[in-house]
A = this chain, B = another copy of it.
Amino acid sequence: MRDIDPQPGSLDLPGPYLLFLGDTVEEGYAKTAFGLRDWASERCVGEFALPGASVTTGLDPLSPAAAYARGARALVIGVANAGGVIPKSWSGALVEALEAGLDIVSGMHARLAAVPALAAASARLGRRLIDVRSPPPGIQVASGRKRSGRRLLTVGTDCALGKKYTALAIARGLQGRGVDAEFRATGQTGIMIAGSGIPIDAVVVDFVAGAAEMLSPDAPPEHLDVIEGQGSLFHPAYASVSLGLLHGSQPDMFVVCHSPARTRVLGHPDYRVPTIGMVIEQTVAMGKLTNPAIRCVGISLNTSGMDEAEAEAELEAAERATGLPAADPMRGGARFGRLLDSCAA
């Protein structure tokens, strides 16, 4: 995937990256590192782990100094841990990275500068500590003005079921067909993958639609921004994030992302996951405020854990229910090709 141009109001990350794995022994904690390896391999020069770590991305193990020599300009914390804190046992390695000339990029809840050793070393060495959960300065209130170029937004029936990977797969698939498409990141992993973006859920609510406007600025008529969705209009806590992103993005097209196995909203078991049809109807009803031409162009199903026949049955059912192409981008194939056709039409 090509690097995107940094936007006013966007975070702009240094790179390429050295992926830091800490002392992690659980694969599930290294999702960020695996995501970067899979989706931003051209931004990753190697990995760096502490003694005791058993997780690996398969990239070359490199010291910070060796990574710098190969072109790395940032160490990215590619692992999470319980509580989102930065353990003391990491400090020495992170200071070593700063001393080797790397900035540090983190998507953890804890702020890098809250670790005294990192704050001191970064000040002494003139290096940056970048928390990708912190929105950049300069975000404005939305104008509502129609922008040039085209936009596609991934929306969902819930959180955490494939909106980011769907947007990445569509952007990459269209780029492969020669379409002038760019992935626009709205969450921390997406921002690390793209090297730029705005963590939309961390923006003050008055400015959230404005942040979405700045993320996908005026563009040539045929240009397509593929915008990573967040939350769901049917989420009791995060619908507000989804609506601000919808209004500010002014999408011409949207793709509904759904996980057939998910029947209850993640973390809110009193709430049923809406149907795909409900999400299409409500997204059009709300989205037409800022783009009267908004339309649904397809369905992305997360069929992980299903065998081929089960997945095929779910995809077939989704197509029948909506009359729109349905695919699991992770499975690719002819179905995904038809979803891309619909996005390119």
Contacts and interface: CB of A to CB of B under 8 A. Distances in A.
- How many copies of the chain does the oligomer comprise? 2
B239 A286 contact: yes
Contacts of A265: 144
Given A143-B268, A144-B270, A244 B205 contact: yes
Nearest to A270: B144
A55 to B, nearest CB: 29
A249 to B, nearest CB: 12
**Most chain B beta-carbon contacts within 10 A, residue among A237, A240, A243, A282:** A240
B206 A204 contact: no
A192 B76 CA distance: 45
Interface residues on A, range: 35 or more
Contacts of A271: 144, 289
Given A244-B239, A268-B144, A285-B285, A202 B206 contact: yes
A161 interface: no
Contacts of A233: 286
A277 B319 CA distance: 34
A237 B244 CA distance: 8
Given A200-B205, A285-B285, A240 B243 contact: yes
Most-contacted residue by chain B among A210, A233, A241 (CB, 10 A): A241
Contact of A205 (B141, B144, B203): B203
Interface string A221-238: 000000000000110111
A234 B270 contact: no
Contact of A240 (B143, B202, B240): B240
A203 B207 CA distance: 10
Interface in A131-156: 141-145
Interface in A257-288: 265, 268, 270-271, 282, 285-286
Contact of A234 (B203, B241, B289): B289
A208 interface: yes
Contacts of A209: 236-240
A111 to B, nearest CB: 14
The winner among A201, A202, A244, A270 for most chain B CB atoms within 10 A is A244
A237 B144 contact: yes
A290 interface: yes
Tell me which of A141, A203, A206 has the highest count of chain B C-beta atoms within 10 A of its own C-beta: A206
| Of listed A205, A209, A244, A290, residue having the most chain B CB within 10 A | A205
20 contacts: A142-B236, A144-B265, A144-B268, A145-B270, A202-B205, A202-B206, A203-B205, A204-B205, A205-B205, A205-B241, A206-B238, A209-B237, A209-B238, A209-B239, A209-B240, A233-B286, A234-B289, A236-B247, A236-B289, A240-B247
Interface of A: 141-145, 200-206, 208-210, 233-234, 236-241, 243-244, 247, 265, 268, 270-271, 282, 285-286, 289-290
Given A144-B271, A205-B208, 4 more contacts: A144-B265, A144-B270, A236-B247, A243-B243
